[in-house]
Amino acid sequence: MISRQFIEELDEQLIRDDVPLHARPFNVALAWIQQQNVSWNVLDPKIWNPLNAIYRELYLSGDFSVPSLLAGAVQLPDTTYLATAELGYGQFMVDPVKSIDISASELQLIWQRHPDQVWSAIYSVADIWDLAYSIGDLSGKNLIADDLWANSCSAITSTAHALKSGAGGSSAIQSACLSAELAMKGVLAYLGQSESQLRRYGHNIEALSKAVVERVPRANDHFFLAACVGFPNYVESRYASHQRTKIQLGKLGMRAQYVAAEAIRRLSKRDFAATIEGGNDSIPRLNFD
């Protein structure tokens, strides 16, 4: 079987190569099979179980779970909860409420008092899934768009953590605005606009939304354009106190997730949110005012 020395030596190399912890056992197993010139299954318990046991001895507090594709946030009613889109293969069902980091009992209590807010959270979860998987569908076809979308997703996750901590109102505003802006610029880059053309929009989210709608119109253009009105001024928010309540900040985060997802949905044709809205028991998506 794989020796501890082999594991530790290759693990050091994988650290230098910036391979995340959860992926390193698989890489070690694959490298050992190639070195031995055998045709074993990487996940054969005879290899996999002892290998993972050694890794858990090496990293006692290590997190070996596969990370989410995207982490965003929902607000219920004035508390922020993280919501994630997970990696999946083939066809699988997604239960939106199970994507929210909240207990079933707590969610039930909120549902009894604020069912409309739970529906808003469900739509926001759908936006997170649509965004993550749409980017996966479109990646590798335009490097400028890929970079813009990657940074948009990073900004969405930063917004979520800032809102959840309750101590990052100003940074949440900055990252929320940036996530919407970069997602739409990515769409325009994918459709052929150059970096110099994209710079002309500055941080003008309304102008970007109109450019997106002009090039890839959809039936919900009115709702999308309305959602892009009233974002805080990105530059001014760096220097002035934001004067926004927790509820307003939470709505801004969910608005930004919607704008980013809706812009990219126009290219990918994924639309989990529309599937939910078309359900017999669903209510229409509420605006973000």
Over the stretch 222-252, which tens digit does the pLDDT of each residue have? 999 999 998 988 776 665 666 788 999 999 9
Name residues whose C-beta falls within 8 Å of residue 34's C-beta, 6 or more positions apart in sequence. Answer: none
Indicate if the alpha-carbon torsion angle 136, 140, 144, 145 is positive or negative.
negative
Mean pLDDT of 269-282: 91
Average pLDDT, the chain: 92
Q: What is the pTM of this model?
A: 0.86
Residue-level pLDDT at 210: 98
**150 has pLDDT over 70:** yes
Residue-level pLDDT at 39: 76
The three-point CA angle 102-78-223 to 5° equals 95
CB atoms within 10 A of CB 157: 19
**Beta carbons of 254 and 124 less than 8 angstroms apart:** yes
Q: How many CA atoms lie within 13 A of 22 on its CB side?
A: 6
- In tens, the pLDDT along 36-80 reads 887 778 788 888 999 999 999 999 999 898 889 999 999 999 999
Per-residue confidence at 215, pLDDT binned at 50, 70, 90? very high
**Beta carbons of 111 and 118 less than 8 angstroms apart:** yes
- In tens, the pLDDT along 198-213 reads 999 999 999 999 999 9
Instruction: Identify which has the larger pLDDT, 39 or 110.
Output: 110
CA dist 9 and 144 (Å) reads 37
Residue-level pLDDT at 105: 96
Residue-level pLDDT at 242: 66
The share of the chain scoring above pLDDT 90, in percent, equals 77
Mean pLDDT of 122-128: 97
Mean pLDDT of 144-173: 92
Per-domain boundaries in the chain: 4-58, 70-277
CA dist 203 and 208 (Å) reads 9
The DSSP call for residue 101 is S
Residue-level pLDDT at 80: 96
Q: Determine the residue type at 23.
A: A
Residue-level pLDDT at 76: 95
CA dist 71 and 98 (Å) reads 13
Per-residue confidence at 263, pLDDT binned at 50, 70, 90? very high
202: left (phi over 0), alpha (psi -120 to 50) or beta: left
Q: Determine the residue type at 194.
A: S
Mean pLDDT of 167-171: 76
The share of the chain scoring above pLDDT 70, in percent, equals 97
Residue-level pLDDT at 91: 77
Locus of tokens 């709702």:
223
Per-residue confidence at 168, pLDDT binned at 50, 70, 90? low
Token digits for 21?
């912890």
Token digits for 91?
């066809």
